[in-house]
Amino acid sequence: MSNRSKLEKFADNKKFSNVFENNSYEQPQLFSGFNTIVDYKGKWSKEYFKNNYKLVLELACGRGEYSLGLHNLYSDINIIGVDIKGARIWKGASHSLHEKMNRVAFIRTKIELITNFFGEGEVEEIWITFPDPFPRPGKSNKRLISPFYLGLYEKILKKGSILHLKTDDDNLYNFGIESLQQSPKFTIITQNNDIYSKPLENEALSIKTYYERMHLQNGKTIKYIQAEYLG
């Protein structure tokens, strides 16, 4: 299946029971399959996952490596990977279905629409792993750790929730620290500009994405920020 074309992957996603898609920026609805509108806002764990576990998001999830890794590490969480790239989501979605990983789902949408799909206080943890750093200063508002996005996260995070950023990019790391320090709603718990220079403080940091492996091969250091949402 790994040699399937993009169009074949897009078609597969519509058949996958763990993939939901938003087809229009102007009409922020989620579809399951080809034309079934679904609404799990505020009730993902209860109505979709059929449990009461905490809900974790992986934003800009790409192939979903962190979503799958978190599922394997923790038996008491539900994970939803969010990305706009359907061909990338296909990788994680197809693997999780094949392995019967029933606490993982994926949403194909622009991340700026997430408040339409998750309720107030519904999310208890967010992972942002190797997002596009948008290095040009004029694009700083597009960074997933910018004040704009922090404002969105505030609308869906539960008080005491944890936000994680993992990156190889020095500028994004420093920008993230600045954004979080300036926000009255978040406090930084950990900031580390080289996580592999000493034993990992969090077992979830051992999960490596495709991009992280590539960055490590190129001799880059991996940086990490952990912040708490104060509510």
Contact 186, 148 (CB under 8 A): no
Domain map (residue ranges) of the chain:
40-229
Pull the structure tokens for residue 158: 């539960």
pTM: 0.94
C-alpha dihedral, 150 to 197 to 207 to 143, nearest 10°: 20
Amino acid identity of 228?
Answer: E
Residue 87, helix vs strand vs coil: helix
Pull the structure tokens for residue 54: 């905490």
Residue 190: the pLDDT is 97
Residue 2: the pLDDT is 60
For residue 117, report the phi and psi dihedrals to the nearest 5 degrees.
-115, -10
What CATH topology corresponds to 40-229? Rossmann fold (3.40.50)
Q: Confirm whether 132 is a catalytic residue.
A: yes
Query: How many Cα atoms are found within 13 Å in the side-chain-facing hemisphere of 71?
Result: 24
Catalytic residue of the set 39, 132, 170, 194: 132
Residue 17: the pLDDT is 93
Residue 1: the pLDDT is 52
Residue 23: the pLDDT is 87
| Mean pLDDT, contiguous 10-residue spans, the chain (231 residues) | 80 90 90 93 97 97 95 97 94 94 97 97 97 91 97 98 97 97 97 94 92 88 97 92
